[in-house]
Amino acid sequence: MTASPAFADRLLRWFDAHGRHDLPWQNPRTPYRVWVSEIMLQQTQVNTVKAYFERFMARFPTLEALAAAPLDAVLAQWAGLGYYARARHLHAAARVMVAQGIPDTLACWLALPGVGASTAAAIMAQAFDEPATILDGNVKRVMARHAGIDTPIEQAATIHRLYDCARAYTPAYRSADYTQAIMDLGATLCTRSQPQCSDCPVSADCVAWQEGRVDELPARRVRRSLPVRTTTFLALFDADERIWLTRRPSVGLWGGLWCLPECRVSADHGLPAAGESISPVCANATAAVPWAQFAHRFTHFELRASVRKTTKADSVGLADDGAWFEVNRLLAARDIGLPKPIQTLLAANFPPNESIH
C-alpha cells in the first residue's frame, strides 16, 4: 500500500486545531509518564484513565518511587481499572528499568514485561518523537474504514493488513503529534457509533465514507452472548468486627488482589459442600447466611456472585495467604488492591464508623 502524504498533512492540520493537547501525560511528556499512561490505556478509554493516571502519579511521581513500592500499593492504585496483570507487569518493569535504565529503542521496550508492539511504538513516538507504527483499537477502526478493509477485524490476516496500512500512512515527521492525532481521530470523530464523518479531515478519500459503509466497518464476527459464571464469596468477620481477606492467585480473575474467600455452598444449609471448598476458610466457618449479591461484566463473561456472611472467633484453620482487616480503615487507606465489585460491596454495607453487627 502506498501512503498518501496528504493523509498525514490533513490529519496534523486538524490535530493542531482540534486535537487533545492537555492530557495529563502530555505535560510533561516524559518516558516514565508516557509509559505508565500507555499501559493504562491498554483496553481502557482515555476518560477513565485520566483520573487514575493523576492519582497514580501523585502516589508514584518517579520511576524509582514505583519500583520501590510494594506490589500491594501499586494494585491499590490500580483497583477499578481491570486487567490487573498490567499493574503487576508495570511494577516488574519499573524494577528492571531502575536496574538497567529506561529503554530508548523499540526492541528494548518490547523486552519489558507487559509491553507489546503497539504499546512500544506509542512510547517511542510519544516520548522520543521517533517514527513508529501504532495499532490500537482506535487506529484499527480508522484504518479499516479509510482503506475499506472488510474482513473480520479479529482475524490475524486482517490485523496484518491494518498494520501495513497504518505503517504506510505514518509520516517520518512530527511522530509524537501524528501518533496522538490518529488516536484522537478515532476517539472523537471516527467513533464506533455515530461517527462524525462530515467533520473528518480525511473523509474525502475514505472508502467507507465514499461507499456508504461506515456503519459496516470494521467488520466483526457475529458475537455470541456472554457466558455467565456463578460463584459464592464468604464475608467472614471476627469478634473485633474485622473481615478476613485472602490474596487471589497471581494468574486468573483479579490476579494478585485481596478478596473475600471464594467457596461453593450446599443448597440445604448454606455451608460449604463437602470436598467443594475453594478456600480453606469456607470449611472452617460457622453457619453462613445470605448477605448480598452482585454481578460484574468482564470481557469474555459475566460473573454473578452471592455473598454469605458468618463469624469466627479466631484465625485457627484459616488460609496462610489471608489476613484480618478493619473494614473502614481498609476502604479509607486504599493501601491494598481490592477488586472494584468487592470494594463497592463493602462501601455500600459499611459507611464510615458504622458497626458490622
198: number of CA atoms within 13 Å, CB side?
A: 1
Distance in angstroms (rounded) separating the CA atoms of residues 60 and 63: 7
Residues 236, 311: contact at Cβ < 8 Å? yes
| Amino acid present at 311 | T
Distance in angstroms (rounded) separating the CA atoms of residues 102 and 94: 9
Distance in angstroms (rounded) separating the CA atoms of residues 11 and 154: 26
For the chain, give me the number of helices (H) and strands (E)? Answer: 15, 7
Report the candidate in 250, 275, 345 with the shortest Cα–Cα distance to residue 305. Answer: 345
**Contact residues for 139 (Cβ-Cβ < 8 A; gap 6+):** 162, 166, 182, 183, 186
Is 276 among the catalytic positions?
Answer: no
Cell readout for 335 is 493501601
In Å, how far are 126, 135, 178, 349 from 5, measured between CA atoms? 21, 19, 12, 59
Report the candidate in 339, 334, 354 with the shortest Cα–Cα distance to residue 56. Answer: 334
> Active-site residue numbers?
38
